Amino acid sequence: MRKHELAEHVLAEYNAGPGPTARWKKTPHESHRAAFVEAVDFYPTRHYIKNVLGDYYAYKELWDGGIQAAGK
14-55: pLDDT as tens digits: 999 999 999 999 888 767 899 999 999 999 999 999 999 999
Band the pLDDT of 56: cuts 50, 70, 90.
Answer: very high
Residue 32 makes CB contacts below 8 A (sequence gap 6+) with: none
pTM given for the model: 0.79
| Mean pLDDT along residues 4-9 | 87
Per-domain residue ranges of the chain: 7-63
Q: What distance in Å separates the CA atoms of residue 28 and residue 14, rounded to the nearest whole number?
A: 22
Cβ-in-10-Å burial (0-12, 13-18, 19+) of 53 comes to middle
